[in-house]
């Protein structure tokens, strides 16, 4: 049985950068705190914990005066930086530059009086950070059906969480534009209400994987998708993988593999989220090869 690993899978450069920053800081000082899980992968979190990285919440700030706290790739709202200053905490900002750029763009539109709409998951760390740049006034939606939350009489801009899917983003943009136009035609609103912008801020490294992942999944008899169950990006990519190959199984680590998945199969493909480390996928490959031994 041939077992391969998708060459396009694994850490995106933003996650690589965040992990590199954490490890560099810990080489000089073993005491480092991460505000929230550094990435959505429990295996990698455990590896970094052994090096000295401890996961905390905002509630722990009051007892960390003088300590170093890492801002993970997802980013944080301005209120977090203010809270850190209040408690004398040194922040190590490892926000993904792609996310930082989205935060800056959202802030510019908000300051110009635009109603900001974010396509994303309301409780996701990145979205909380994005919304924080609008004084928590941005409207978060995850489908075209939820566009009813939007005030169609205001000039509006649509952004996206960086790990969402493009087709849904463009469907939401289309629906918003149509509803704004319809509201204008039947109402007495100023023409400025027609000022609508859709800013596709989905990370290219995430969206660009769709086609390649479908092709890779279709080439194998069985697909094993490795990711943390809390990974937003992992859930999206897993569904893409499963659409292309119904024999796709989601696991967090090699302990969840089942021998019957591979019986009578000739090829197995392994892929993962942008938060899935290469070493973990290699470990899964070795475990599958052991399972296939007579």
User: Is residue 40 a contact partner of residue 116, using CB atoms and an 8 Å limit?
Assistant: no
Task: Please say if the pLDDT value at position 29 is more than 90.
Answer: no
Q: Domain 13-95's class?
A: alpha beta
Contact indicator for 19, 48 with CB cutoff of 8 Å = yes
User: Greater confidence, 186 or 273?
Assistant: 273
| pLDDT digits 0-9 by tens, 82-126 | 999 999 999 999 999 999 999 999 999 999 999 999 999 999 999
Q: Could you read off the pLDDT of 45-78 as tens digits, one per residue?
A: 999 999 999 999 999 999 999 999 999 999 999 9
pLDDT band for position 294 (cuts 50, 70, 90): low
CA distances from 164 to 149, 161, 234, 270 (A): 19, 6, 11, 22
The per-residue pLDDT for range 220-246, each reduced to its tens digit, is 999 999 999 888 778 888 999 999 999
- Residue 162's pLDDT is what? 92
pLDDT at 210: 82
Each residue of 144-160: pLDDT tens digit? 999 999 999 899 999 99
User: Which tens digits make up the pLDDT trace of 204-224?
Assistant: 877 778 889 999 999 999 999
C-alpha distances out from residue 110 to 106, 138, 220, 243, 271, Å: 6, 9, 47, 38, 38
pTM: predicted TM-score of the whole model, two decimal places: 0.83
C-alpha 262/C-alpha 1 separation (Å) is 9
The percentage of the chain sitting over the pLDDT mark of 70, rounded to a whole number, equals 98
Strand order in the sheet with 53-56: 53-56, 32-35, 68-71, 90-93
Q: Mean pLDDT score of the chain, rounded to an integer?
A: 92
Instruction: Answer yes or no: same fold for 2-10+207-291 and 13-95.
Output: no
State the SS3 of the chain: CEEEECCCCCCCHHHHHHHHHHHHHHHHCCCEEEECCCCCCHHHHHHHHHHCEEEECHHHHHHCCCCEEEECCCCCCHHHHHHHHHCCCEEEECCCHHHHHHHHHHHHHHHCCCEEEEECCCCCHHHHHHHHCCCCCCEEECCHHHHHHCCCCCCEEEEECCCCCHHHHHHHHHHHHHHHHHHHHHCCCCHHHHCEEECCCCCHHHHCHHHHHHHHHHCCCEEEEECCCCCHHHHHHHHHHHHHCCCEEEECCHHHCCHHHHCCCCEEEEEECCCCCHHHHHHHHHHHHHHCCC
Active site residue 126: yes
Assess whether pLDDT exceeds 80 at residue 293. Answer: no
Q: Is the pLDDT of residue 37 over 80?
A: yes
**Which pLDDT band, with edges at 50, 70 and 90, does 39 fall under?**
confident
Residue whose structure tokens are 């493909």: 269
Whole-angstrom Cα distance, residue 67 to residue 40?
A: 24
Work out the pLDDT band at 190, boundaries 50, 70, 90. low
For the chain, the domains span 2-10+207-291, 13-95, 98-161+166-201
What integer pLDDT is reported at residue 241 of this predicted model? 95
pLDDT at residue number 165: 85
Give me the pLDDT at residue 291, please: 86
Residues ≥6 apart with Cβ < 8 Å to 112: none
DSSP label at residue 163: T
From 126, 178, 243, 254, active-site residue: 126
Would you place residue 30 in the very low, low, confident or very high pLDDT band (cuts 50, 70, 90)?
Answer: confident
- CATH class for the region spanning 98-161+166-201: alpha beta
pLDDT given for residue 285 in this prediction: 96
What architecture is domain 2-10+207-291?
3-Layer(aba) Sandwich (3.40)
């Amino acid at each position: 049985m041939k077992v391969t690993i998708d060459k396009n899978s694994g850490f995106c450069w933003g996650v690589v950068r965040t992990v590199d920053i954490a490890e560099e800081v810990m080489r000089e000082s073993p005491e480092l705190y991460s505000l929230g899980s550094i990435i959505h992968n429990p295996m990698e979190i455990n590896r970094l914990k052994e090096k000295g990285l401890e996961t905390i919440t905002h509630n722990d700030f009051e007892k960390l005066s003088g300590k170093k706290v890492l801002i993970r790739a997802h980013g944080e709202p301005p209120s977090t930086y203010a809270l850190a200053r209040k408690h004398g905490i040194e922040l190590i900002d490892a926000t993904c530059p792609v996310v930082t750029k989205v935060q800056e763009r959202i802030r510019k539109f908000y300051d110009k009086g635009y109603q900001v709409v974010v396509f994303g998951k309301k409780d996701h760390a990145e979205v909380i950070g994005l919304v924080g740049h609008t004084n928590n006034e941005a409207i978060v939606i995850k489908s075209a059906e939820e566009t009813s939350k939007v005030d169609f009489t205001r000039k509006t801009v649509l952004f996206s969480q960086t790990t969402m899917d493009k087709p849904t983003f463009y469907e939401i943009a289309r629906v918003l534009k149509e509803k704004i136009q319809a509201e204008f035609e039947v109402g007495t609103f100023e023409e400025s209400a027609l000022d609508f912008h859709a800013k596709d801020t989905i990370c290219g490294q995430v969206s660009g994987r769709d086609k390649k992942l479908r092709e890779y999944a279709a080439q194998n008899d069985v697909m094993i998708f490795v990711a943390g169950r809390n990974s937003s990006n992992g859930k999206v990519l897993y569904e893409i993988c499963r659409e292309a190959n119904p024999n796709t199984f989601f696991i967090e680590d090699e302990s969840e593999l089942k021998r019957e998945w591979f019986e009578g199969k000739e090829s197995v493909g392994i892929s993962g989220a942008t938060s899935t480390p290469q070493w973990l996928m290699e470990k899964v490959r070795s475990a599958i090869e052991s399972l296939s031994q007579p």
